[in-house]
Amino acid sequence: MKEITAELQGLNVGKVKENEPLASHTTIKIGGPADLYIEPSSVENLTKVMTIINNHQLNWRAIGRGSNLLVSDKGIEGAVIKLGPGIGHLDINGTEITVGGGHSLVSLSTLISRKGLSGLEFASGIPGSAGGAVYMNAGAHGSDISKVLTKAHILFADGTMKWLTNEEMEFSYRTSILQKKRPGIVVEAVFQLSAGERNEITSLMQKNKDYRKVTQPWNFPCAGSIFRNPLPNYAGQLIESAGLKGYRIGGAEISSMHGNFIVNAGNATAGDVLALIQHVKDKIYSLYQIKMETEVEIIGRK
């Protein structure tokens, strides 16, 4: 690993660290170390990073702002590539915007609302990156990324880059082709928005934010929704009806505000969260014969 680290640092690709604790890079504040942590300073440097990773046949994983992610206490083998501000460019051309994968989704929705552009109001409270949102087809308030994305520029594992259209992304509920078939990094995305009345847009965004504040535990470290909604049922309602709100294992606790959120109530480990997830699965199945599936992505050493 020292050789790869030295090679990356020699190319001045951005931040390069060994054994970087990933608890510092996830919204739930949990996660062991990455063997190698890389935060490229530009798209060009990201491609250099991928070339070196491939040359050394190193396992890799991309992350954005670390939401919707649970990292093992034992950390991640290989490299973790974080898309940060260096890949956070934004270009606005009328009602079409092109945004870098590392751009904050909350910041993006706020910026474009001030310009009277409508279509991303639903994203005003989603604490992820633009690239991560495309990767998992993030959504809320009855809308999602698939409703506005035109195309996405993807860096694939073999180092090639290609634009995929909305159809080629194969979006479904909180899923895209990048999760199902072709691992890749969302370098940038193009969204087609519509012109709207600025005050109406900002008012709706504020309404969405206020709703999240009173219904979701954003005052505690958390990873967002833990389970997919087993439609026509809703995960939070099932968990609440099972009497599991407030149930705790170690430092992990099912939020008393929303049943589909597990919060880090104090020095929680990934093991605590996984045990709590399994308890919920067992309880819901025993009561309702419904199999719960996680929405949060669980990664790292077993």
**269-299 residue pLDDT tens:** 999 999 999 999 999 999 999 999 999 999 9
Q: What is the pLDDT of residue 2?
A: 87
Q: What is the pLDDT of residue 200?
A: 92
Q: What is the pLDDT of residue 216?
A: 86
The pair of structure tokens assigned to 24 is 């510092």
pLDDT of 77 > 80? The answer is yes
Decide the pairing of beta strands 33-40 and 14-21.
antiparallel
pLDDT range class, residue 215, cuts 50, 70, 90: confident
The pair of structure tokens assigned to 19 is 């054994």
Q: What is the pLDDT of residue 14?
A: 96
Walk me through the domains of the chain, giving residue ranges and CATH numbers.
2-82 (3.30.43.10), 88-200 (3.30.465.10), 217-299 (3.90.78.10)
Q: What is the pLDDT of residue 236?
A: 96
pLDDT range class, residue 150, cuts 50, 70, 90: very high
Has this prediction a pTM greater than 0.85?
A: yes
Active-site residue flag, 114: no
Only one residue has tokens 């012109």, namely 195
pLDDT of 208 > 90? The answer is no
From 42, 174, 228, 241, active-site residue = 174
Decide the pairing of beta strands 143-144 and 139-140.
antiparallel
Active-site residue flag, 182: no
Query: Are the CB atoms for 117 and 201 separated by under 8 Å?
Result: yes
Question: Coil, strand, or helix at residue 83?
Answer: coil
* Cis? peptide before 85, omega within 30° of 0: no
Interval 46-67 mean pLDDT: 94
Decide the pairing of beta strands 261-264 and 297-299.
unpaired
Active-site residue flag, 293: no
CA distances from 194 to 115, 134, 199 (A): 11, 19, 14
The torsion angle over the Cα atoms of residues 7, 12, 18 and 23, rounded to 10 degrees, is: -150
Q: What number of CA atoms fall less than 13 Å from residue 283's CA on the CB side?
A: 16
From 113, 225, 253, 255, active-site residue = 225
Q: What number of CA atoms fall less than 13 Å from residue 258's CA on the CB side?
A: 22
Q: What is the pLDDT of residue 42?
A: 96
Quick one: what percent of the chain has pLDDT higher than 90? 85
> Helices 43-55 and 2-10: crossing angle, nearest 10°?
150
The pair of structure tokens assigned to 68 is 């919707």
Residue 208: strand pairing partners: none
